[in-house]
Chain A
Amino acid sequence: MAGFLIKRLLQAIFVVIAITLIVSFAIRLTGDPAVMMFQGGGSMTEEDLMRIRAELGTDKPFLVQYLSFMQGLVTFDLGKSFVGGTPVARLIGDALPATLMLAFVSMAVSIALSIPLGIKAATSRGKLADQVIRVFSLVGLSFPNFWLATMLVLLFAITFNLLPPSGMSGPESFIMPAVTMGVILTATNVRLVRTAMLETLQSQYVMVARAKGLSESKVLYKHALRNCAIPLITYFGLQFGGLLGGIVVIERVFNWPGMGTLAFEAVGARDYPVLQAVITVLSLMIVGINLLVDIAYGLVDPRIRTE
Chain B
Amino acid sequence: MAAKTSRPSQFASLEFILGACLTTVICLAVVFSDVLFPGGADKIDLMARLTKPFVSAAHPLGTDPLGRDVLARVVAGGKISLLVGFTSVIGAVVFGVLMGLIAGYYRGFWDMVVMRFADLQLAMPFILLAITFIAIVGGSLTNTIILLIISQWVQYARLVRGSVLTLREREFILSARAIGVKDWRIILQHLLPNLIGPVIVLMTLNVANNILLESSLTFLGLGVDPTIPSWGGMLADGRTYLQTAWWVSVFPGVAILLTVLGLNLLGDWLRDSLDPTGRTSR
Enumerate chain A residues within 8 angstroms of B242, measured Cβ to Cβ.
150, 153-154, 158
Q: Is the CB of A27 within 8 A of B8?
A: no
Residues B102-141 near A (CB distance < 8 A): 116, 119-120, 122-128, 131-136
Chain A window 192-215, contacts with chain B (Cβ cutoff 8 Å), 1 for yes, 0 for no: 000110110010000000000000
Partner of B264, one of A19, A27, A141, A263: A141
Across the A-B interface, give the 7 residue pairs with the lowest CB-CB distance, nearest first: A245-B125, A147-B253, A142-B260, A142-B261, A198-B3, A245-B127, A287-B123
With both chains docked as a complex, state the minimum distance between the C-beta of A156 and any C-beta of chain B, in angstroms: 12
Residue A126 interfacial (CB < 8 Å):
yes
Enumerate chain B residues within 8 angstroms of A30, measured Cβ to Cβ.
135-136
Residue B204 interfacial (CB < 8 Å):
no
Supposing A144-B257, A147-B235 touch, asked if A199 and B131 sit within 8 A by C-beta, the answer is no
Enumerate chain A residues within 8 angstroms of B122, measured Cβ to Cβ.
238, 241, 290
Residue B280 interfacial (CB < 8 Å):
no
Q: Is the CB of A154 within 8 A of B125?
A: no
Query: In this complex, what residue of B is CB-closest to A147?
Result: B253
For the complex, give the distance between the alpha carbons of A128 and B220 in Å: 39
With both chains docked as a complex, state the minimum distance between the C-beta of A151 and any C-beta of chain B, in angstroms: 7
For the complex, give the distance between the alpha carbons of A191 and B268 in Å: 12
Enumerate chain A residues within 8 angstroms of B123, measured Cβ to Cβ.
15, 19, 241, 283, 286-287, 290
Q: Is the CB of A144 within 8 A of B3?
A: no
Enumerate chain B residues within 8 angstroms of A263, measured Cβ to Cβ.
128, 131
Enumerate chain B residues within 8 angstroms of A144, measured Cβ to Cβ.
212, 215-216, 219, 235, 253, 256-257, 260
Residues A235-260 near B (CB distance < 8 A): 238, 241-242, 244-246, 248-249, 252-253
Chain A window 134-152, contacts with chain B (Cβ cutoff 8 Å), 1 for yes, 0 for no: 0000110111111100110
For the complex, give the distance between the alpha carbons of A212 and B281 in Å: 35
Residue A71 interfacial (CB < 8 Å):
no
B interface secondary structure, majority: helix
> What is the count of residue pairs linking A and B with beta-carbon distances less than 8 angstroms?
142
Residues A1-59 near B (CB distance < 8 A): 11, 14-15, 18-19, 23, 26-27, 29-30
- Chain A residues bordering chain B, tally (CB within 8 A): 56
Q: Is the CB of A195 within 8 A of B1?
A: yes
Q: Is the CB of A279 within 8 A of B282?
A: no
Query: In this complex, what residue of B is CB-closest to A267?
Result: B135
Q: Is the CB of B132 within 8 A of A23?
A: yes
Enumerate chain B residues within 8 angstroms of A29, measured Cβ to Cβ.
136
For the complex, give the distance between the alpha carbons of A287 and B1 in Å: 25
Q: Is the CB of A286 within 8 A of B3?
A: no
Name the interface size band of chain B.
Answer: 35 or more
Enumerate chain B residues within 8 angstroms of A191, measured Cβ to Cβ.
281-282
Q: Is the CB of A150 within 8 A of B257?
A: no
Enumerate chain A residues within 8 angstroms of B36, measured Cβ to Cβ.
none
For the complex, give the distance between the alpha carbons of A214 and B142 in Å: 61
Partner of B131, one of A143, A146, A196, A279: A279
Residues of B within 8 A of A (CB): 1-3, 6-8, 11, 116, 119-120, 122-128, 131-136, 208, 212, 215-216, 219-222, 235, 238-239, 242-243, 246, 249-250, 253, 256-257, 260-261, 264-265, 268, 281-282
Q: Is the CB of B256 within 8 A of A139?
A: no
For the complex, give the distance between the alpha carbons of A114 and B38 in Å: 47
Residue A282 interfacial (CB < 8 Å):
yes
Enumerate chain A residues within 8 angstroms of B131, measured Cβ to Cβ.
263-264, 267, 275, 279
For the complex, give the distance between the alpha carbons of A215 and B279 in Å: 35
Partner of B8, one of A11, A126, A270, A283: A126
Enumerate chain A residues within 8 angstroms of B238, measured Cβ to Cβ.
150
Partner of A252, one of B120, B220, B256, B261: B220
Enumerate chain B residues within 8 angstroms of A26, measured Cβ to Cβ.
132-133, 135-136
Supposing A14-B119, A241-B122, A283-B123 touch, asked if A146 and B132 sit within 8 A by C-beta, the answer is no
Query: In this complex, what residue of A is CB-closest to B254?
Result: A147
Chain A window 153-165, contacts with chain B (Cβ cutoff 8 Å), 1 for yes, 0 for no: 1100010000000
Enumerate chain B residues within 8 angstroms of A146, measured Cβ to Cβ.
216, 219-220, 235
18 contacts between A and B (CB under 8 A): A15-B120, A27-B132, A27-B135, A29-B136, A138-B268, A141-B260, A142-B260, A142-B261, A150-B238, A154-B250, A191-B281, A242-B125, A248-B128, A249-B219, A253-B239, A263-B131, A279-B132, A282-B128
Chain A window 82-104, contacts with chain B (Cβ cutoff 8 Å), 1 for yes, 0 for no: 00000000000000000000000
